[in-house]
């Protein structure tokens, strides 16, 4: 009886999740706020024309939102006692929160109490990719905002130190498969990272904490270049381009770098240890299938954007993204 009850519960949970995703629609605001995408894009064009490097942090913020409690805007919430998601270690390097509030304020001016912060952030992420010369896709909308944000739940985020087993497990927990993993990892084609996110590969790979304790899977010339930028494990400020030479352009160079063992993070190099992800990387390393990859990225972004969403009467529509309404 217990197993039958569990099966019924799982079935109902699956139906509920399917219904929630079904309520997301590309034209969700066609009557209530038809200008929402134009308003968001106007702010994005203005911001990225002044600071194109902001695109990657905004895209990363959307990832971090969706992997914790689903795409509900919980990463945007403040906490008086510093226990919200944004206060957790993996999120302390996120930036762009003030910009999201600015976009939300512009949307509120056009359509008060109508568009969620979760939807605003999803549109921002799409435009961040597109304005960086990446693909464009239609975004299903209709998410509602959550009211809970807990720092220790950020364990659900895939860390840069993860191996392929951990990566596949964390992605599977969000109904994302092995293809989504390798496709979405290519978001590392734009942006920068602090040295401390990968410096253990340079100085402390097995815990010896010396200049000889290196990650043997990292290409030697690339390692030397990284060491010239990140002088020690104590470097907490230096930023390094994740895709050197084109870190502001969404392109296929990420695959070329990873195929040559020049992926910046453990998690990038880990993609070469699985037959499927390795084959995908090798296929796109030559850059000859740009349209195919762009289409794959759009599909995986929509899929991730549907993760554990709140819809209908669930959640709320926050007036300000950093605080709940009540």
Active site residues: 64
> In whole angstroms, how far apart are CA 45 and each of 38, 53, 54, 59, 118?
10, 12, 11, 15, 20
Q: Are 190 and 55 in contact (CB under 8 A)?
A: yes
145: three-class secondary structure by DSSP: strand
Burial class (CB in 10 A: 0-12, 13-18, 19+), 5: exposed
Cα 309 from Cα 149, distance rounded (Å): 15
Q: Which residues, 6 or more positions from 219, have their beta carbon under 8 angstroms from its beta carbon?
A: 260, 261, 262
Q: Give the count of beta carbons closer than 10 Å to the beta carbon of residue 281.
A: 23
Element (H, E) at 124: helix 117-130
Yes or no: say if 120 and 103 are a contact pair by the CB < 8 Å rule. Answer: yes
Extract long-range pairs of 206-210: CB within 8 Å, 24+ residues apart: 209/233
Tokens 């969700």, residue located: 28
Cα dihedral value 277, 279, 284, 286, nearest 10: 140
Q: What does residue 87 show for φ and ψ, rounded to 5 degrees?
A: -85, -15
Q: Is 48 helix (H, G, I), strand (E, B) or coil?
A: helix
């Amino acid at each position: 009886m217990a197993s039958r009850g569990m099966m019924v519960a799982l079935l109902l949970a699956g139906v509920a999740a399917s219904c929630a995703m079904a309520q997301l629609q590309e034209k969700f605001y066609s009557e209530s706020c038809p200008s929402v995408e134009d308003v968001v894009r106007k702010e994005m064009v203005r911001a990225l024309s002044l600071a194109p490097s902001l695109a990657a942090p905004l895209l990363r913020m959307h990832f971090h939102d969706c992997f914790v409690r689903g795409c509900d805007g919980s990463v945007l919430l403040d906490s008086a006692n510093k226990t919200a998601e944004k206060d957790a270690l993996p999120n302390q390097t996120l930036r762009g929160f003030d910009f999201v509030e600015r976009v939300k304020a512009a949307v509120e001016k056009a359509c008060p109490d109508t568009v969620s912060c979760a939807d605003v952030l999803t549109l921002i992420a799409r435009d961040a990719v597109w304005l960086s010369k990446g693909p464009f896709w239609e975004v299903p909308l209709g998410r509602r905002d959550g009211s809970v944000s807990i720092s220790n739940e950020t364990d659900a985020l895939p860390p840069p130190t993860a191996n392929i087993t951990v990566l596949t497990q964390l992605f599977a927990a969000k109904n994302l498969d092995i293809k989504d993993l390798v496709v979405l990892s290519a978001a590392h084609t734009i942006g920068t990272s602090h040295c401390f996110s990968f410096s253990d590969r340079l100085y402390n790979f097995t815990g010896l904490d010396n200049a000889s304790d290196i990650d043997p899977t990292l290409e030697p010339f690339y390692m030397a270049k990284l060491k010239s930028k990140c002088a020690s494990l104590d470097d907490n400020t230096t930023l390094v381009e994740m895709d050197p030479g084109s870190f502001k352009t969404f392109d296929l160079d990420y695959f070329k770098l990873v195929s040559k063992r020049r992926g910046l993070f453990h998690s990038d190099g880990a993609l070469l240890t699985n037959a499927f992800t390795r084959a995908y990387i090798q296929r796109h390393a030559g850059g000859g299938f740009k349209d195919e990859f762009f289409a794959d990225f759009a599909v995986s972004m929509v899929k991730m954007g549907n993760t554990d969403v709140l819809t209908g009467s669930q959640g709320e529509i926050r007036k300000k993204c950093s605080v709940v309404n009540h």
